[in-house]
Structure formats: C-alpha cells, structure tokens
C-alpha cells in the first residue's frame, strides 16, 4: 500500500503535468511551431528514435568522458592542495573564487583553441565538472573527523598511512557528492559545446530542428537529453548506494 502510493504519486504528478500541457495547447489553440502537443512529441520521438539514439550516444560519451577526465584530474589535484599547506594557500582561494565564474562563457574561446570536434565538447564538459569535484574532494580531505586523526596518531600511523587508510576513505562521501553535481554539469557542458560549434550530438540536433521549425523533433531531442542526464546521475547514485553501508557512520 505504502509502496504503491510512493511509486504511484510521482507518476500521477507527471501525468497531471502532461495533461495540463495538452489542455493548454488545445484550449488556447497554440500552433505546433510554438508548442506541440505531448502526443505529437511522442510521435516524433518514435519516428526519430534511431536518430535520437545515434546522436544521443555522441552526447553521452562527450559528457561521460568530460566527467571522467574531471575526476581523474580533479581528485589528485584536491589531494595535492589538501596535503600541502603552501599549495593550499596558493590555489584554494582561487578555486573557491572560480566557482562563481560562469565557465561556459569560455566556450567560444575553447572552440577557437580546439576546433569543432570531440575535443572542444570534452573540454567544456571537463571545465564545468572539474570544480565541484576538486572543491568537494578537498573539503572532504580537510574535514576528517578529529577522532579518526587521534586514532591514527595513537597507533603511530605515518602521513602516508594516515592518508590512504583514514583520510581518503573518510572523504569518499564528499567525493561522491561532488561527483553528483559534476556529472549533471558535464551533460550541460557537452550540450553547450554542441550548441556553439558542432555538427553532431543532441545539442546540434536541437539547433537543426529549431532552424527547420521542426519543434516536435526539438522536444524529442530534449527528451533524449533528459534521459542521458538521468542515466548518468543514476550511475553515480548507484555507486553511492553500493558504498552506503561503508559510510553509514560518517554521513555528513
């Protein structure tokens, strides 16, 4: 019963929104070129499914690679700045400051530097995903519970052992919460890359559909993007869920 309600109510919410959308279009006689009916979007989605799929893979890989690149570069950099006081003082304030800079504004420059291929999309996805990973990982490494540090000191663990056996595993929940933000931003970064200069991917498909005033196709591409976002986010959540028992006690 409870479970049924929990599953049923969100579906009911979605259904209500779609119904409202449909009613709005019908009642106010909105032209398809402005806002198509839900059924028309669905029809376009089914008709163009192969196209959405093939373009979707391109966007998916660009987002995922951008995220992975941000992760493999971001975590070691966070380790470096949280292990060295000098590096920390040099770069941590800068990192915090760049958090508030709209990094997508760099996209046109990146396009000039890297061209219209995968590289530029990857670079933009990397750029937006990098900061949350670095900042959250560094925060996690700086916030090791004091009692665990006491434990390490009491058994005379050296700095290396303290890091690998205590501080790094204790920071994993932070790294994962940074990754959740980063993976969502990576999709946005990839799409912006496609908007600005690319001839493939779902972002590009949306632009093409818009210019042909094929609004149902634009909506179908948007649906594909939503699917990619949800898929990638769920993958990170799955990792978090798998690790949950390990971190039950250091949940922050």
Q: Residues interacting with other proteins, by CB under 8 A?
A: 145, 147-148, 150-151, 153-157, 161, 165-166, 169, 172, 245-250
**18 SS3 class:** helix
Cβ at position 88, least distance to other proteins in Å: 22
Token pair recorded at residue 97: 């400051």
Nearer to other proteins, 100 or 158 (CB): 158
Q: Which lies closer to other proteins via its Cβ, residue 27 or residue 146?
A: 146
Distance CA 240, CA 235 (A): 9
Nearest approach in angstroms of CB 170 to other proteins is 8
Closer to other proteins by CB, 239 or 250: give it. 250
213-219 long-range CB contacts below 8 Å, 24 or more apart? 213/33, 214/44, 215/32, 215/33, 215/34, 215/35, 215/36, 216/32, 216/36, 216/40, 216/41, 216/43, 216/44, 217/44, 217/48, 219/36, 219/41, 219/44
Residue spans of alpha helices (H) in 143-214 = 146-154, 159-162, 168-196, 202-211
Instruction: Tell me how far, at minimum, the Cβ of 46 lies from other proteins, in Å.
Output: 46
State the DSSP H helix or E strand holding residue 218, giving kind and residue range, or none if neither. Answer: helix 215-243
Q: Select 5 or 153, whichever has its Cβ closest to other proteins.
A: 153
What is the C-alpha to C-alpha distance for residues 55 and 146, in angstroms, rounded to an integer? Answer: 49
Query: In the complex, what is the shortest distance from the CB of residue 166 to other proteins, in angstroms, rounded to a whole number?
Result: 7
CB nearer to other proteins: pick between 53 and 161: 161
Cα–Cα distance for residue pair 214/226, rounded to 1 Å: 19
Please report how close the Cβ of residue 84 comes to other proteins at its closest, in angstroms. Answer: 23
Residue 244: CB minimum distance to other proteins, A: 9
Q: From residue 224, how far is each of 15, 49, 142, 192 by CA, in Å? A: 19, 9, 39, 15
Closest CA to 117 of 205, 226, 198: 198
Q: Which C-beta is closer to other proteins: that of 24 or that of 164?
A: 164
| Cβ nearer to other proteins, comparing 22 with 244 | 244
Distance, CA of 136 to CA of 146 (rounded, Å) = 18
Q: Considering the complex, what minimum distance in angstroms separates the CB of residue 3 from other proteins?
A: 24
């Amino acid at each position: 019963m409870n479970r049924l309600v929990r599953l049923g109510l969100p579906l009911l919410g979605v259904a209500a929104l779609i119904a409202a959308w449909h009613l709005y279009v019908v009642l106010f006689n909105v032209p398809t070129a402005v806002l198509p009916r839900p059924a028309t979007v669905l029809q376009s989605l089914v008709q163009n499914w192969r196209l959405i799929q093939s373009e979707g893979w391109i966007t998916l890989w660009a987002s995922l690679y951008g995220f992975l690149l941000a992760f493999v570069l971001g975590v070691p950099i966070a380790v470096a700045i949280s292990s060295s006081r000098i590096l920390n003082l040099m770069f941590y304030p800068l990192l915090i400051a760049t958090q508030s800079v709209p990094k997508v504004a760099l996209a046109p420059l990146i396009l000039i530097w890297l061209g219209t291929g995968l590289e530029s999309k990857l670079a933009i996805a990397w750029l937006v995903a990098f900061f949350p990973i670095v900042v959250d990982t560094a925060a996690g490494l700086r916030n090791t519970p004091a009692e665990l540090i006491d434990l390490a000191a009491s058994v005379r663990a050296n700095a290396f052992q303290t890091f690998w056996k205590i501080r790094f595993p204790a920071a994993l929940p932070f790294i994962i919460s940074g990754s959740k933000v980063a993976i969502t931003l990576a999709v946005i970064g990839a799409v912006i890359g496609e908007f600005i200069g690319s001839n493939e991917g779902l972002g590009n498909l949306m632009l093409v559909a818009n210019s042909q005033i094929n609004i149902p196709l634009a909506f179908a591409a948007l649906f594909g993007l939503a699917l990619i976002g949800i898929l990638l986010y769920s993958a990170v959540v799955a990792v978090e869920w798998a690790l949950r028992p390990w971190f039950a006690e250091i949940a922050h």
